[in-house]
Amino acid sequence: MKHYELIHEIYNLCDGHPDSHIKEVDTDDLDVYMEGMTSKVSTCEKTEREEGSVVYEVVTNGVKERYTFTEV
């Protein structure tokens, strides 16, 4: 099982600024983890950055969220 630092940003619809939360996550599969974090009406785009972090951009009912995973 891999250990990640997760930065979860929820973008405020009024001013566009994110509320950020940081936590640690243990998972073998980030895609499976994210399936549990999103609903059937969500859109989700995955990006793997050069430095190794994985970013999921999620939009649900007009609310944008960003999940950034960095292996520790």
Q: How far is CA 72 from CA 6, 25, 47, in A?
A: 10, 10, 18
Query: For position 17, what pLDDT does the model report?
Result: 84
Mean pLDDT of 15-39: 94
CATH tag, 2-71: 3.40.50.11630
38 band by pLDDT with thresholds 50, 70 and 90: very high
Can you give the residue ranges of every domain in the chain? 2-71
Q: Which residue in 66, 61, 26, 72 sits closest to 47, CA to CA?
A: 66
pLDDT for the residue numbered 21: 97
